[in-house]
Structure 1
Amino acid sequence: MSVTGKNIARHLRSAAIDQPDALATKSPLSVSPSGAVTHAHSTFLELDRESDAAARLFQDAGISQGTRTLLAVKPGHDLIVGMFGLIKLGAIPVAIDPGMGWATYLKCVKHSQPTAVVGIRRATLLSRFPLAAFASIRNRITIGTAHWINRLARQMSANPFPISEVQADDLAAILFTSGSTGTPKGVRYTHGMFEAQIRLIRETYGVQSGEVDMPMLPLFALFNPALGMTTVTPLLDPARPASANPAPIVSTLLAEKVTNSFGSPAIWSRITEYCQRKGIKLPSLRRLLIAGAPVPDGLLEQLRTIAPQCKIHTPYGATECLPVTSIESEELLGPLRQLTLSGRGTCVGRPVAGVEIRVIHETESALNDYTEAKMCAPGEVGEIIATGPSVTQEYDNLPTATRLAKIREGNRLWHRMGDLGSLDADGRLFFLGRKVEKVRHAGGDLYTEAVEPTFRAHPWVARCA
């Protein structure tokens, strides 16, 4: 049974009606010395009612439709409850990656001007410090404590919380970019864009209701109620994936029969090395999405040995536009490998359904209209642009950055990815790296992904940047 409306939170209500007893979340409680993890379970009905209760508590605390709310919660069940509680209420969650560093984090908070914070105790205490970043905050709600759990239990009801009525182009959340190659920017996500992403993920990767997902990137867990997947939270600090202990993660992958996962090359390198060293296979994995950085061919080959039945995808996109293209490891490890090693760049595949890409002549100037963009010929290196239903319209309170990043074409908007690459005659996109990382040289421009793959292929090279 579908719940009507445009609010993205309706998908959780639909899941609670259609499969009330199916498991929605599994969150780690404890880990044994051997790496075995004990989990707390919640069904879709329980998750829906908990987020209803959270919405009531947020409302009682003064949060209402349109309230910008800094969400500072650890990955897992509480993050999902908090996010859906806010979105049901019509409030605007502001999500900032704490891994970007404290000073940068504070700049992002100050820029987004939240008037409320929902977070763990440490976050709400820090928000009381007399810092300019927190000057706009009026309401603070601490979640995850025994007191919060008791208050939540008292608000639980069989009567559903009325989900806020919104339009598809209404603001749903503000998600900050990582800032890995520049200043992080708040990206304005509408309910319609979230809806488009859910549809693209389901159609592109054939996700089925009843699957079990372990998202290594926390916010991807928020798509799972709409996809009908169980979310298993890994014991992992997403800000430091390269330092993760793979033992409890692998133990959980096996014990929970995880079928799907989305993560970075850094974390999957740790998992793969551990599995190979211990002689462990991952037979339940059907689908693996690896993104966030270039994926070495060696990692893809190793993954195919520990999960031979698994389809390994390397999607390409950005916070402002995701997914854009996608490709499977089987194609990457074929003839395309030699093209990459010859300096052509890393192939990131063809556009997903509904998305169009172009490569235009590189420029630092704003392009106010699509007619101002000069198209590159097949094989010619230029700037990558994309358009489609999941392309965000603007940055938050950054009109200059928005003007530089967007190109208007009638009713359509193209996003300038900030990346360089080329298209071949078959419509495949070859990624050559970030514009800001290009090295100008008298003998010709140098691109990161024209150079680094050769070094990454050397058996004595562990990492290359």
Structure 2
Amino acid sequence: MKNHGLGDWIHRRRVRSRGETALISAAGELTYDQLAERIDRLANAFADRGVRTGDRVAYLGENSPAFLETLFAAGSLGAVFVPLNTRLAPPEIQFALQDSGARLLVSSSTLQPLAASGSRETAVERIMIVDDGHGTQHEDAELPLPAEPFEQALSSGALHRPDVQVSHEDLAVILYTSGTTGSPKGAMLTHGNLTWNAINVLTDHDITSRDVALMIAPLFHVAALGQGALPVLLKGGCVVLEQRFEPGRVLALIQEHSVSNISGVPTTFQLLCEHPDWDHTDISSLRNLTCGGSAVPTRVLEAYESRGLAFTMGYGMTETSPGATSLPSAYSRSKQGSGGLPHFHTDVRVVDPADQPCAPGEVGEIQVHGPNVIAEYWNRPEATASSFVHEEHASWLKTGDMGYLDEDGFLYISDRLKDMIISGGENIYPAQVEQQIAALESVAAVAVIGVEDERWGEVPRAIVVVREGHELTEEQVLRHLDGRLARYKIPKSVIFVESMPRTASGKIRKPDLRRQYA
């Protein structure tokens, strides 16, 4: 076998799981045999359209079989998969396509206008349109490039396995993550990174070939892909793909398909247990509840415990594919608030400013090492150089997050060195938002902080100083950001102040702003 990467997973699995259901979606069911055949055809269709080893293939769409088929087909050719966040604004989509140099874009029909505007002035040569089941109501969107239906392209591909050599060291996926400077960075996840992350999940969690995992979080997020879909498919289980999160429908799907695994953020689980159907829905099939992003509130823990369920929580990031630590459900109470223990094949340490290990309970920067950790960023040598500590036998990723290890080795997150805001599971870096607001002529200074929100955990709030002689309203600020940033990044409120608290060097003191305005 030449292909040792993700592109060969379904072929190796089809023999072991012949006739078993791999995917369930609104479009129906696909067995492992059927999925393998579709991946072959799609890979050859890509090749017929000029996709070669190392080329980037982008995907813009909600959860669907086409997402995973594109991922595996690209991997079959040694090409690189670039999933795009559907909530981004056109300039942000355009940046990702330009930066990655993607040659082919696969887009859902509903997002055709976003694909059209985002692909202009990029290296994209062709677009494939996936019928997402909501109708092609945007047929009038003028595409700047040749376009064809996804199913038509797939069916044109030959039914044989591509003969391409792929190793664990080869690049599999570029996932864009916002940077502290406001410029997104492409995390380069290799086939080995994603494989070892899946092995970590299978080692630390009770995943079996009989499991049914419901994907209610978008697969373009590394958590849903790396912690949810890929480990279950590697094991031979079934993945149920849902395009959007609607609590009542999710409860119905759990009962209908005897779902065993769900992953999400605290808001996800809160909305489920607060839904009117919660008490009379049969959720007895549920076994694995995985939550990330922030700690689960006590009242939510209690709601699930009353139904005989406990959470597995974890800490990670795009650069760790994404798992760094995991808190077993047996410790959900005794270690409440902890991110857990390092994954089985991953090391985590907390260090002082000299990169020396901290004592238990002492706060320092969290660093991660392991085969699931990326080695570099796409086209960002400076970011790569500043993000790792290289030692004789290991390279450690500097997460920028602050925390401590207790006496038992459990990790606790205490602060975010990078000021990142986590809103409903989405990472928001204030610098990117501040950059856009600062472009307004009337703005003298701006700082964006996170404030607590009962539903989303945190939401951004902008603190603005208006230039002398100018006027500015909250409505004007928000209108300026509309279309320039994804909606979840746009502040939910704007506060106008006379001046900013600053350090002696002139830097804005965000801790002071949080104390006063959060």
Q: Report TM bin, short chain.
A: 0.7 to 0.9
What residue number does 1:148 align with? 150
- For residues 78 and 87 of structure 1, what CA distance do their matches in structure 2 show? 14
Q: Counterpart in 1 of 2:500?
A: none
Q: Which residue identity is paired with 2:67?
A: L
Residues 201 and 231 in structure 2, CA contact (< 8 A), matched pair in contact too: no
1:135 maps to which residue? 122
1:152 aligned partner, one-letter code = L
Q: Does 1:386 align with 2:386?
A: no
Distance in 1 separating the partners of 2:212 and 2:110: 31
Moved more, 107-116 or 9-18: 107-116
- For 2:192, the aligned partner's letter is G
Looking at structure 2, the residues matched to 383 and 147 of structure 1 have their Cα atoms a distance apart, in angstroms, of 48
DSSP 3-state at the match of 2:338: strand
- 1:10/1:163 contact within 8 Å kept: no
2:19 match:
21
Q: Tell me the equivalent position of 1:366.
A: none
Count of residue pairs brought into register by the alignment:
404
The answer (yes or no) to whether the contact 2:365–2:399 under 8 Å persists in 1 is yes
- How many angstroms apart in 2 are the aligned matches of 1:26 and 1:91? 26
**Aligned equivalent of 2:189:** 189
- Shift in Å, 1:331: 1.9
Post-superposition offset of 1:177? 2.3
Distance verdict in 2 for CA 1:318–1:82, change over 3 Å = same
Which residue number corresponds to residue 347 of structure 2? 356
Describe the shift of the 1:226–1:4 C-alpha distance in structure 2 as closer, same or farther (beyond 3 A). farther
Structure 1 position 51, deviation (Å): 0.9
Contact kept? 1:69, 1:116, Cα under 8 Å = yes
Offset at residue 330 of structure 1 (A): 4.1
Write the distance in 2 (CA, Å) between the matches of 1:301 and 1:102.
42
How far does the alpha carbon of each residue in 1:368-416 deviate from its partner, in whole angstroms, 9 at most, with x for none? xxxx523222211111001111011111111111112111112421111
Deviation (angstroms), 1:223: 3.8
What's 2:255 paired with?
254
> Which region of structure 1 is more displaced relative to structure 2, 172-181 or 205-214?
172-181
Map of 2:213 onto structure 1 = 213
- Give me the identity figure in percent: 25
Q: What is the CA deviation profile of residues 172-197 of structure 1, one whole-angstrom value per residue up to 9, with x for unaligned ones?
A: 11112266996432110111111101
Distance 1:211 1:176 in 2: 30
- Say if 1:22 and 1:223 are closer, same or farther in 2 by CA, change over 3 A: same
Corresponding letter in the other structure for 1:430: Y
The SS at the match of 1:324 is strand
CA distance in 1 between partners of 2:456 and 2:130 (Å): 39
Partner amino acid, structure 2, of 1:316? Y
What residue number does 2:291 align with?
290
Structure-2 residue corresponding to 1:50: 38
1:408 to 384, 387, 390: 390
Are 1:317 and 2:308 matched, yes or no? no
Q: Give CA-to-partner distance per residue, 1:348-367, whole Å, 9 cap, x none.
A: 111121211111124xxxxx
CA spacing shift, 1:235–1:192, aligned 2, 3 Å: closer
1:200 shift after superposition? 0.6
Among 228, 236, 250, the alignment partner of 2:236 is 228
- 1:263 maps to 2:254: no
Q: How does 1:24-35 map to 2 (within 5 A)?
A: 24-29=22-27
Cα distance 1:174–1:347, how it changes in 2: closer, same or farther (>3 A)? Answer: same
Q: 1:327 to 1:128 in 2, by over 3 A?
A: closer
Q: Does 1:436 align with 2:438?
A: no
AA aligned to 1:319 is: T
Measured at CA, do residues 56 and 462 of structure 1 come closer, stay the same or move farther in structure 2, by a change above 3 Å?
Answer: closer
Using the alignment, how far apart are the partners of 1:163 and 1:412 within structure 2? 34
Partner SS, residue 340 of structure 2: strand
SS in 2 for 1:84: helix
Query: Aligned to 2:175, what secondary structure does the other structure show?
Result: strand
Using the TM superposition, give the Cα deviation of residue 125 of structure 1 relative to its aligned residue in structure 2, in angstroms: 5.9
Residue type at the aligned position of 1:383: E
Partner of 2:66: 78
Say which is worse superposed, 219-228 or 50-59, in terms of deviation. Answer: 219-228
Q: CA RMSD in A?
A: 2.7
TM-score, length basis structure 2: 0.72
One-letter code aligned to 2:234: A
The correspondence of residues 111-122 of structure 1 with structure 2, limited to 5 A, is 111-121=99-109
- With 394-403 and 182-191 compared, the bigger mean Cα shift is at 182-191
Q: Secondary structure at the match of 1:99?
A: coil
Q: Is 2:340–2:410's contact at 8 Å kept on the other side of the alignment?
A: yes
Contact 1:387 1:412 in 2 (8 A): yes
Q: How far does residue 92 in structure 1 lie from its aligned partner after superposition?
A: 0.7
CA distance in 2, matches of 1:64, 1:27: 30
Shift of 1:127: 4.5
Question: 1:429-461 CA deviation, whole Å, 9 max, x = no partner?
Answer: 1111311339xxxxxxxxxxxxxxxx99xxxx6
- Structure 2 unaligned spans of 5+: 133-147, 220-224, 421-451, 459-518
C-alpha deviation, 1:24, in angstroms: 0.6
Amino acid corresponding to residue 347 of structure 2 in structure 1: E
One-letter code of the match for 2:76?
K
**Alpha-carbon distance between aligned partners in 1 of 2:19 and 2:311, rounded to the nearest angstrom:** 30
Question: Which one has the bigger helix percentage?
Answer: 1
The aligned amino acid for 1:149 is E
> Structure 1: 5+ residue runs without aligned partners?
30-39, 237-243, 338-345, 363-371, 439-454
CA change 1:7–1:407 in 2 (3 A) is: same
In the alignment, is the contact (CA less than 8 A) between 1:6 and 1:192 conserved in 2?
no
Letter in 1 for 2:326: S
Aligned-pair distance for 1:13?
0.3
Q: Distance in 1 between matches of 2:409 and 2:114?
A: 50
